[in-house]
Chains A and B, each alone.
Chain A
Amino acid sequence: AQTVTQSQPEMSVQEAETVTLSCTYDTSENNYYLFWYKQPPSRQMILVIRQEAYKQQNATENRFSVNFQKAAKSFSLKISDSQLGDTAMYFCALNAGNMLTFGGGTRLMVKP
């Protein structure tokens, strides 16, 4: 069985500041994939960033980057220069074997 835990139900950040969302996971697989998805108020799920477990280099997509610590089974998301449009639910997800497992989500509010 695989599990994903997001320990921060809600977070807030001032516009233009940096925020980090936490995610820990557990799997017995050695090769797997990790994702961060964003769900804005429209409820459309949008892929933010993707990390392959066999790659040591942390993934980066513009203002979004991850801190992937495989030994600690940690996969945090850093959002730099936060914008009002970043306000959303953020879900961490693990794909190992044949299942995609989601964490419970973190509600991020970006304040002007």
Chain B
Amino acid sequence: DGGITQSPKYLFRKEGQNVTLSCEQNLNHDAMYWYRQDPGQGLRLIYYSQIVNDFQKGDIAEGYSVSREKKESFPLTVTSAQKNPTAFYLCASSRNRGLSHFGSYEQYFGPGTRLTVT
């Protein structure tokens, strides 16, 4: 079955530690995205990537880093510099019509990872 996988579903870390959240898709999508969702709120864009080896900052990139070495994979690292990392993290992917129109296709989401930092 084609889809997006995120693992693990729940993740616990001590404050001061970096942690990497995985996101894999087998939909052959060019574009991938990372969002953060806080309780009772909408989604905020952290980073996005339109093609392999390229990525752009979203609205709340500070304290996060990403890589896009393979089309299928877009891991997100939550660094110790992120002041309030406890949140629900969602990964998404979409087809890419081209750099000037990449936003025209709907995004498909993974099941999410709940990160708790204490």
A residues contacting B by CB (< 8 A) are 32-33, 35, 37, 42-47, 50, 52, 91, 95-100, 102-105
With both chains docked as a complex, state the minimum distance between the C-beta of B51 and any C-beta of chain A, in angstroms: 13
Choose among B42, B43, B109 the residue that contacts A44 (Cβ–Cβ < 8 A).
B109
With both chains docked as a complex, state the minimum distance between the C-beta of B105 and any C-beta of chain A, in angstroms: 8
B residues contacting A by CB (< 8 A) are 33, 40-45, 50, 56, 58, 88, 90, 92, 102-104, 106-109, 111-112
Q: Give the one of A35, A44, A103 with max B CB within 10 A.
A: A44
With both chains docked as a complex, state the minimum distance between the C-beta of B73 and any C-beta of chain A, in angstroms: 20
**Chain A: which residue is nearest B9 at the CB level?**
A43
CB pair A96 B103 closer than 8 Å: yes
Choose among A32, A42, A100 the residue that contacts B107 (Cβ–Cβ < 8 A).
A100
A104 to B42, CA, bound (A): 4
Contacts of A46 in B (CB 8 A): 109
A102 to B18, CA, bound (A): 28
A46 to B111, CA, bound (A): 10
Contacts of B33 in A (CB 8 A): 100
With both chains docked as a complex, state the minimum distance between the C-beta of A45 and any C-beta of chain B, in angstroms: 4
Given contacts A44-B109, A91-B43, A98-B102, 7 further A-B contacts (CB under 8 A): A32-B103, A52-B104, A95-B104, A98-B56, A99-B45, A102-B44, A104-B41
